DNA sequence: ACATACATGTAAATAGTTACATGATTTC
DNA sequence: GAAATCATGTAACTATTTACATGTATGT
C-alpha cells in the first residue's frame, strides 16, 4: 500500500481534494495509515496522467480554488484489483520498546518518565478512538471494525503498562545492583 | 531510530558481525523493529568512519571470514545521548485494516479469507513470542517486558478477531442488501 | 501579533528495499 | 539436486519526509 493506493481508497468512497484526503488520514485513518502532502500531490498528478482519477476546479469565495478529484471507472477497477492482490499484513515499529530494551543503561528516573509518557500516549489514543466511535453514527461496518481493533490493542497495552511499570522499575534497580545510588 | 542506532544498540549489548546483527533483528527484535543487509552494512561502514565502532577480522574454518564489530567508548556515549533524546513513540501501519475499510467493495468470501488469514498471523506471532519467553531463561527485564507487551497486544487482537469476524461478515452482507447473490 | 485552517505544489535530503554478485558448507 | 545457512557487500530503484514557497481568512 503506497500513497497512490491510499488516495484511490478515499476517492472510492467520495470525491475529495488533496487537502481533504490528508484530513481523512489525520482523522478516521490515523490509527493505521499515514501519509503527507509531499506524497499526496505527486500521487494525484500521476493518477490523473494514468486516467485513474479526474478532477474539476472548484472556485470558492474567500478560499483558494480547490481541485476536486473523482475516481474513474478504470481507477475503480484498478483499486479493486489492488485490494484483491493485497495480503492482510501489519507492521509495527516501536521506539518505546527499543528504549525499554536498554532500560538498564539509562537513569532509573528517566525510565520512569518514559513509562509514564507511553501510558499517557495510550490514554490519549484511546480517547480519540472512543470519541470517533461514539460520535459518528454513520460508520460503515468496516470502519467500526478498525476502531474496535485499535481500541482492543490500546486497552490491552494500557492495562499492561499499569500492571507492569512499577515491577519493571524494581527489577531494573535489582539488576543494576549496589552500584546504583 | 535508524539502522545505525539499531546497530549501536546491539553492539552495546555484545560484539557482533553484520550478519549476526541481522539475525538479532529476525529473532529477539522482530516484533518491534526491522532492518535489512542493504541498510546494515553501509551503516556499519559509516559508524566505523565516525569512530563509533571498531572491528577485527576473524578467520574461520570452512566459513567466510567475519568482521566482528565492537562499540567504542565514543559510540557508547553517542548511543546513550540518542537514547536520552528519543521520545517513546510507536507507529503502526496495517494493510489488513485498510482492506477492512473497503470490505463492502469485496466479495464476501474474499473478506472471510482475509479474516482467517489475519487470525492465523496473530496465532503464529503469539506462538513465536511465547516460545522465546519460555525458552530463554537469561532474559533482561527490558527484553521480557517487550515480549509481554507484544503478547498482550496480539492476544487482545486475537480475542477480538474470534469474537467479531462472524458478526462483521453478517453486517457487510446486510449493507450490500438484496443485490448480493 | 501570532497561530491555525484552508489550499496547492516543489525540491532537497534521507532512507530503505530489493535484487544482484560471489562462494563454501550443510541439510533434506 | 535443491535449498538453506553462513558471510560481505554494491547498486538501482522506490518512496517518503521535511522544509520551503505563496496567499487569504479567521480566531485569540
In chain A, the number of structural domains is 2
**How many angstroms separate the CA of A41 from the C1' of C6?**
16
**Residue to test with chain B: of A3, A90, A123, A148, most B Cβ within 10 A:** A90
Q: Does B3 touch chain A (CB under 8 A)?
A: no
Its sign, for the CA torsion B77, B80, B82, B85, is negative
What is the rounded average pLDDT of the residues B62-73? 91
**pLDDT at residue A176 in the model:** 63
pLDDT, tens only, B36-59: 999 999 999 999 999 999 999 988
Its sign, for the CA torsion B4, B5, B8, B9, is negative
- Same-domain check for residues B74 and B118: no
**pLDDT at residue B136 in the model:** 79
**pLDDT at residue B63 in the model:** 80
- Residue finishing a domain among A46, A67, A85: A85
Q: For residue B122, tell me if it sits in a domain.
A: yes
Q: Is the pLDDT of residue B60 over 70?
A: yes
Q: For residue A181, tell me if it sits in a domain.
A: no
| Shortest distance, CA B59 to any CA of chain A (angstroms) | 31
A6 to B141: CB separation less than 8 angstroms, yes or no: no
CATH number of the domain within which B18 lies: 1.10.10.10
- Same-domain check for residues B67 and B130: no
pTM of the model: 0.93
- Same-domain check for residues A31 and A101: no
Protein-covered nucleotides of chain D (CB closer than 7 Å) are: 6-12, 14-20, 23-26
B23: domain range? 3-85
Angle, helix B3-13 to helix B73-84, in steps of 10 degrees: 120
Query: Residue B130, SS3?
Result: helix
What share of chain B has pLDDT > 70, as a percent?
Answer: 96
**pLDDT at residue A172 in the model:** 93
Which residues of chain A fall below pLDDT 70?
176-181
Protein-covered nucleotides of chain C (CB closer than 7 Å) are: 6-12, 14-20, 23-26
pLDDT, tens only, A82-126: 999 999 999 999 999 999 999 999 999 999 999 999 999 999 999
**How many angstroms separate the CA of B108 from the C1' of C7?**
39
Scanning every strand, the nucleotide with its C1' closest to B2's CA turns out to be: C15
**pLDDT at residue B141 in the model:** 95
Buried b (16+ CB within 10 A) or exposed e, B1-30: bebbbbbbbbbbeeebbbeebbebbeebbe
- Residue finishing a domain among B85, B106, B136: B85
Q: For residue A90, tell me if it sits in a domain.
A: no
Q: Is the pLDDT of residue B87 over 60?
A: yes
Q: Is the pLDDT of residue B24 over 80?
A: yes
Query: Residue B54, SS3?
Result: strand
Amino acid at each position: 500500500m503506497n500513497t497512490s493506493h491510499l488516495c484511490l481508497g478515499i476517492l472510492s468512497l467520495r470525491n475529495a481534494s488533496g487537502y481533504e484526503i490528508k484530513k481523512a488520514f489525520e482523522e478516521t485513518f490515523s490509527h493505521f495509515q499515514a501519509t503527507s502532502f509531499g506524497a499526496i500531490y505527486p500521487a494525484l498528478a500521476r493518477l490523473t496522467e494514468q486516467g485513474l482519477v479526474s478532477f474539476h476546479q472548484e472556485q470558492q469565495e474567500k478560499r483558494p480554488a480547490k481541485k476536486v478529484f473523482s475516481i474513474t471507472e478504470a481507477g475503480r477497477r484498478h483499486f479493486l484489483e489492488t485490494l484483491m492482490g493485497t495480503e492482510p499484513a501489519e507492521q509495527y515499529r516501536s521506539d518505546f520498546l527499543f528504549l525499554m530494551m536498554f532500560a538498564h543503561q539509562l537513569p532509573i528516573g528517566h525510565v520512569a518518565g518514559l513509562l509514564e509518557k507511553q501510558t499517557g500516549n495510550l490514554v490519549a489514543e484511546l480517547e480519540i478512538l472512543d470519541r470517533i466511535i461514539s460520535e459518528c453514527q454513520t460508520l460503515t461496518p468496516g470502519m467500526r471494525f478498525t476502531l474496535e481493533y485499535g481500541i482492543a490493542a490500546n486497552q490491552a497495552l494500557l492495562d499492561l503498562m499499569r500492571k507492569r511499570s512499577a515491577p519493571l522499575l524494581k527489577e531494573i534497580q535489582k539488576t543494576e545492583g549496589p552500584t546504583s545510588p
